[in-house]
Amino acid sequence: MSASFATPDRANVQGLILRGYTHPFSCHLLFSFSTGAKSADTKSFFNDLYPKVQNSLDWGTNKPVSMLNIGLTFNGLSLLNIVAQNDLINFPASYRQGPWSGGSQASLADVFDPDSTPSGWWNGNGDAVNASLHCVIHAYALTNNDLTTLVNFITTSATKNGLKEILPLAPTNSGGRLYQSIVYNDQNKIHFGYTDGISEPSLSIPGTAGLPTAEDYSNFLIGYANSSISEPGPFDTSTSGVFAKDGCYNAFRIIYQDVYNFNNFIKDQAKKFADTLSYLGLSEPELEEWFAAKLCGRWRNGSPLMLNPLKPGNDVTPGTGEGFGYTELSDPTLPNADIPSGARCPFSAHTRVANPRNQALDSSEGSNGPPRILRRGMPYGPTFEGTTRDDVDRGLIGLFLCGNLSGQFEKIYGWMNYNNFSDPPVYGIKHPPQDALLGNRKAVLSPNFPGLTLDFTIPLEGNSSVPSITVTLPSLLKTRGTAYCLLPGMASIAKMAGRS
């Protein structure tokens, strides 16, 4: 592998790739190009939007009041006539075939859940939308009024140029659009009450740590495969490679969160195990928080269990309090070979599955450590209030950014559904568990995950008489829709707009 590398021009990279926005208002708009769309129509649409597309340059103290970014599905890209038709095959199969394909569903397993299957995505219009969804516009603003102005600008241009807006939700939910919401009066919270966005890869220049690492920008931006582990593609001089340069893939995923079921689950476990856990000296509400932390691997304020095993800590500022890992014992004679880290953070806790850090991985997973992805998530739908189930749709708008959809996003999602990525005794081979929060419980029906168990074991630190407790994980999520998009570089968006 060559040690040479080039530094990307931040002015050519869309902003949401290299920086997490803090704008509290956003809307994520889905569009279909008209049947037999003329290139002049799409060029006019993208030309209207181009001045508002945000790149990755530092905006300093002049934060834009509103801005947008653009993603293209493979079907949409194919209609633009910018990439030569015989070069389209150079794009990765996962992007070309879409998240509903058999290859992607081998990891995602949505197809095994009647409430999440791709044919039911996008408010029940799944198959038709999967085929006709061509672009996603991500709009951000500092105020609700600014967002309304921007959304109106985008939709007016779309109508003028023959694009059709696709409404991903039922019309009773914000008119069917995906608007970001603020839950629990905190823009950093998601519906299950957790603080989101604590640990993100801090993208580095390839070679600065010696060998390539999973956090090098070359694993996320297309065109730097000579110094990359994931080798984002296409990496060539064809029209596909030129168009994709400095772009990034986005697994755009809409996930319903069953807050009622989640709340009841942690309440029920706190009552059920109150006597067993009495040695902790926690009240019943505190036990509920303890269970929530064990499911996630973090307390709901974001502090990690590894550093704060009994109560939430204060080390929740992004970039701080993250200096920890997961070290395992490897003695197979131990009934629960989970000391020291497993006693604090269960092996199937969500944050541990999504990023096992220094945990030993199965040899089949390679020698470069766990893959990383960039997450740009935000809730949609109103805060759940009360104690009775309602029929309101609420959940997570997930933007999972990577350079290799199958090697990064789908690999991690496969781990969430089937925790067999570490050697025994870290995980058992016969009955692998699932991610405690994001696992697709209907994956037990998938032949891809033999022997899967829905049991979640929580080792008990400091309790010699009861080494662990086990709970059965409930179904907490439903997939509302997924699209694989390319976030092109600014130069390619200029071509889409007819400006070059």
Is the pLDDT at 36 greater than 90, yes or no?
no
- Cα distance between residue 372 and residue 388, in whole Å: 38
Least confident of 95-99, 359-363, 406-410, 472-476: 359-363
417: left (phi over 0), alpha (psi -120 to 50) or beta: alpha
Residue 280 placed within a domain: yes
pLDDT band at 174; cut points 50, 70, 90: confident
Residue 291 placed within a domain: yes
Residue 401 placed within a domain: no
- Cα distance between residue 280 and residue 240, in whole Å: 59
Residue 114 placed within a domain: yes
Is the pLDDT at 71 greater than 70, yes or no?
yes
Q: Are residues 70 and 216 in the same domain?
A: yes
For the chain, give the percent of residues with pLDDT over 70.
92
**How many structural domains comprise the chain?**
2
pLDDT band at 160; cut points 50, 70, 90: very high
State residue 126 phi and psi, 5-degree precision.
-45, -65
Task: Give the pTM.
Answer: 0.94
pLDDT at residue 424, rounded to an integer: 63
Q: Are residues 285 and 334 in the same domain?
A: yes
Give the CA diameter of the chain: 73
Q: Could you report the per-residue pLDDT of 431-463, keeping only the tens digit for each? A: 899 999 999 999 999 999 999 999 999 988 777
- Output the average pLDDT for the chain: 90
Q: Are residues 147 and 265 in the same domain?
A: no
- ∠1-373-17 over CA atoms, to 5°? 95
pLDDT at residue 7, rounded to an integer: 84
Q: Are residues 349 and 248 in the same domain?
A: no
What Rg, from alpha-carbon coordinates, does the chain have?
Answer: 23
Give the mean pLDDT of 186-207: 86
Domain span at residue 282 reads 259-371+416-477
Cis amide bond preceding 206, omega within 30: no
pLDDT at residue 200, rounded to an integer: 80
Q: Could you report the per-residue pLDDT of 341-384, keeping only the tens digit for each? A: 778 899 999 999 999 998 888 888 877 889 999 999 999 999 99
pLDDT band at 1; cut points 50, 70, 90: very low
Cis amide bond preceding 8, omega within 30: no
pLDDT at residue 149, rounded to an integer: 98
Q: Could you report the per-residue pLDDT of 242-254, keeping only the tens digit for each? A: 999 999 999 999 9
Is the pLDDT at 330 greater than 50, yes or no?
no
Residue 57 placed within a domain: yes
Q: Are residues 488 and 452 in the same domain?
A: no
Residue 154 placed within a domain: yes
Q: Are residues 240 and 155 in the same domain?
A: yes
Q: Are residues 139 and 286 in the same domain?
A: no
Q: Could you report the per-residue pLDDT of 216-231, keeping only the tens digit for each? A: 899 999 998 877 889 8
CB count within 10 Å of CB 428 equals 15
Which three-class secondary structure state does DSSP give residue 89? helix
Q: Are residues 219 and 186 in the same domain?
A: yes
Is the pLDDT at 13 greater than 80, yes or no?
yes
Residue 74 placed within a domain: yes
Least confident of 20-24, 91-95, 407-411: 20-24
pLDDT at residue 397, rounded to an integer: 97
pLDDT band at 338; cut points 50, 70, 90: very low
- Cα distance between residue 52 and residue 309, in whole Å: 46
Q: Could you report the per-residue pLDDT of 279-325, keeping only the tens digit for each? A: 999 999 999 999 999 999 999 999 999 888 889 988 666 556 688 88
Is the pLDDT at 425 greater than 70, yes or no?
no
Bridge partners, 256 (sequence order): 395, 478
Q: Are residues 278 and 219 in the same domain?
A: no
Q: Quick one: angle between helices 259-272 and 284-296, nearest 10?
A: 120
For the chain, give the percent of residues with pLDDT over 90.
72
Q: Are residues 350 and 468 in the same domain?
A: yes
Q: Are residues 434 and 456 in the same domain?
A: yes
Least confident of 56-60, 234-238, 263-267, 460-464: 460-464
Residue 273 placed within a domain: yes
Q: Are residues 274 and 145 in the same domain?
A: no
